[in-house]
Every structure is written in structure tokens, then in C-alpha cells.
Amino acid sequence: MGRLAEESVERFARTQHTASGILIDIEGERAGVSWNAHMTHVHDDETLFTVGGRFDAEVRYTPDGWRFTRMAVRPVWTQGRPPVVE
């Protein structure tokens, strides 16, 4: 996990992400990947922050297998209190 992703999930006591509608478009050693996501985050006070959105990513085949080279999330809806970013 990249440092930015680690910093994002460290803001919460727990998180759970589920994915559906996964699409993969392979072109040689590169591929475009996209999926729907439902992300539930639990604050330290046990309240929830929930997000529904769409991920878009690019991956590349390496000697160690497929690896992400780019990933972006587009939130479609949220519910609850987002984390405080300092």
C-alpha cells in the first residue's frame, strides 16, 4: 500500500471496502481497470463515514506480476462525518 493510502486509512479505527462491477481492458503489458466501491470507515467514537464511488486505475505487467501504476477514486455519494484533514 502506498503512503497516501496508508495515511488515509490511518484516520479511522477500522475500514472495510467492497468492490463490484470490475472491468479490465488488457492491451499487452498494460491494462485499464475500473470498479464500483462501497467504503465504510469507523471513527474512533464508533460513528460511520460511508462512501460510494468509482475507482479507475492503470496497471502494468512486471516480472513480479501486475502492479498498479495509477489509481483514482471518484466519490459519488457520502454519508456521515468525513475525517478531519490537518
Amino acid symbol at 85: V
**Per-residue pLDDT band at 10 (split at 50, 70, 90):** confident
Entry pTM: 0.80
- Where residue 73 sits, what CATH number does that domain have? 3.10.450.50
Cell numbers standing for residue 67: 502492479
* Residue 19 domain-assigned (yes or no): yes
* Residue 72 domain-assigned (yes or no): yes
* Residue 86 domain-assigned (yes or no): no
Q: Is-contact 74 51, C-beta < 8 A?
A: no
Instruction: Give residue 19's domain range.
Output: 3-80
Question: Domains in the chain: how many in total?
Answer: 1
* Residue 25 domain-assigned (yes or no): yes
Q: In what order do the strands lie in the sheet with 14-27?
A: 14-27, 30-42, 48-62, 65-80
Q: How many C-alpha atoms does 71 have within 13 Å on its Cβ side? A: 12
**Per-residue pLDDT band at 5 (split at 50, 70, 90):** low
pLDDT in tens, 13-68: 999 999 999 999 999 999 999 999 999 999 999 999 999 999 999 999 999 999 99
